[in-house]
Amino acid sequence: MEEQYLELMAKVWETGEHRTDRTGVGTRSLFGEQISFDLTERFPLLTTKRVFFRGVIEELLWFIAGRTDVAYLTERDVHIWDQWATAEQCGRFGREAGDLGPVYGHQWRNFGGTEVLDDRLTVQTWYPDGVDQVQQLVDELQNNPASRRLIVTGWNPAEADKVTLPPCHTLWQCYVHEDGRLDLQLYQRSADLFLGVPFNIASYALLVHLLAKHCDLLPGRLVMSYGDVHLYQNHADQVVEQLGRTPNPMSDRPLLRVAEGVDIFTATARDVQLIGYTPQAPIPAPVAV
């Protein structure tokens, strides 16, 4: 589980192509890599450094709620989107500070919704007339689980230039086995391997658990497929430090419990319980904005 992540990190750091990037920081990058996690027992939260799991929970519930305002997160003392919610960043698109525009929540719950302007003719909003992809997915999981169309996409070419950070994790597909196990594969166009990917792994593993509980299925396997997977050049010390650590033994890795009868659309952080998470110390690193 975690070993796959560390092996990929070492591979990118040792053999990755040196590339310039949007942020100007520079990366070491590979293309077309994949890792996977068995969710039937332990939860794939890294132990070689602490991951902010409360933030994982609140961000995922924010996506599922269809919200695109950072206030939802800041009210819960989660600040992982603050760098993209400043007056300067939002003002580039005619929006007020905190209004992130058509990011994940909009695409998941109102894909293609009609864009409008409010009375001030400055702040962009969207009518709720788009496609609720998550509701469609849940309906299909419950009524047509063998479907090959169990897909949610966050990538909308018509709106990718309307936000500072277009969706990095762009498309996910579910697969239900005959024995009721639920698998999920994510395609991620851009993957910040040190800072972002540990969060993404935990988020989509949690999503599998929530979907499975809601639809009376069992968590199965999580597959993470990457386009450009990279390490930023200014994370060199952090990468070396993490690669020098040994993951906790499997028996000392966390378990996840989701409340019985949970509804994915009304779930709260109180419905999720992480058991036995004893990671090593955090490894802080700067975010490339």
pLDDT in tens, 38-84: 999 899 999 999 999 999 999 999 999 999 999 999 999 999 999 99
Cβ-proximal residues to 258 (8 Å cutoff; 6+ apart), any chain: 209, 210, 213, 271, 272, 273
Residue 32 phi/psi, 5° resolution?
A: 80, 35
**In the prediction, which pLDDT does 218 show?**
98
Predicted TM-score (pTM) above 0.85: yes
Parse the chain into domains and list their residue ranges. 2-275
Of 156, 154, 162, 89, which is closest to residue 124 (Cα–Cα)? 162
**In the prediction, which pLDDT does 10 show?**
98
Catalytic residue numbers read 168
pLDDT tens for residues 76-111? 999 999 999 999 999 998 888 999 999 999 999 999
CB 31 within 8 A of CB 227: yes
Of 173, 180, 177, which is closest to residue 148 (Cα–Cα)? 173
SS3 state at 116:
strand
Q: Does domain 2-275 have CATH number 1.10.3720.10?
A: no
